[in-house]
Amino acid sequence: MREVLEEVVDEVKRSGHKPYVVSVGGSMPGWSMDKPLGAIAYAEAFVEMVDQARSAGARITHVIHATGSGATQAGLIVGAKAGQTGIRVLGISVSEGRGVLVPIVQKICLDTEKALTMDLGIEPSDIIVLDEYVKEGYGIVNRETAEAIRLLFSTEGIVLDPVYTGKAMAALVDLVKKGYFRKDDGILFFHTGGTPALFPYREPLVRLLGGLSR
**Do the beta carbons of residue 25 and residue 70 sit within 8 Å?**
yes
Say if 29 falls within a structural domain. no
Lowest mean pLDDT of 65-74, 101-110, 174-183, 192-201, name the range: 192-201
The whole domain housing 130 covers 35-210
Q: Is residue 184, in this structure, part of any structural domain at all?
A: yes
Whether 74 contacts 28, CB under 8 Å: no
In a domain, 101, yes or no: yes
Does residue 178 fall inside a structural domain?
yes
For residue range 166-190, list pLDDT tens digits in order: 999 999 999 999 999 999 999 999 9
| Spatial contact of 127 and 91, defined as CB atoms under 8 Å apart | yes
63 pLDDT band, cuts 50/70/90, is very high
Residue 22 lies in a domain: no
CATH code assigned at 58: 3.40.50.1100
Report the pLDDT value the prediction gives residue 213, as an integer from 0 to 100. Answer: 46
H or E element at residue 88? strand 88-93
Domains contained in the chain, number: 1
Q: Which residues contact 23 (CB under 8 A, 6 or more apart)?
A: 29, 30, 31, 33
Alpha carbons 86 and 186: distance in angstroms, whole number = 12
- Identify whether 77 is part of a domain: yes
Quick: pLDDT tens for 148-172.
999 999 999 999 999 999 999 999 9
Please give the pLDDT value at position 1: 67
Distance between CA atoms of residues 10 and 80, nearest Å: 40
The enclosing H or E element of 136 equals none
Residue 197: burial class (beta carbons within 10 Å; 0-12, 13-18, 19+): middle
Question: 76 in a domain, yes or no?
Answer: yes
Q: For residue range 11-61, list pLDDT tens digits in order.
A: 999 999 998 888 778 887 667 778 899 999 999 999 999 999 999 999 999
**Angle at the Cα of 48 (from 124 to 117), degrees rounded to 5?**
50
Mean pLDDT of 122-135: 96
How many whole angstroms separate alpha carbon 198 and alpha carbon 90? Answer: 24
The tens digit of pLDDT for each residue in 101-113 reads: 999 999 999 999 9
Give me the amino acid identity at 50: V
At residue 2, what is the residue type? Answer: R
Q: Determine, yes or no, domain membership for 144.
A: yes
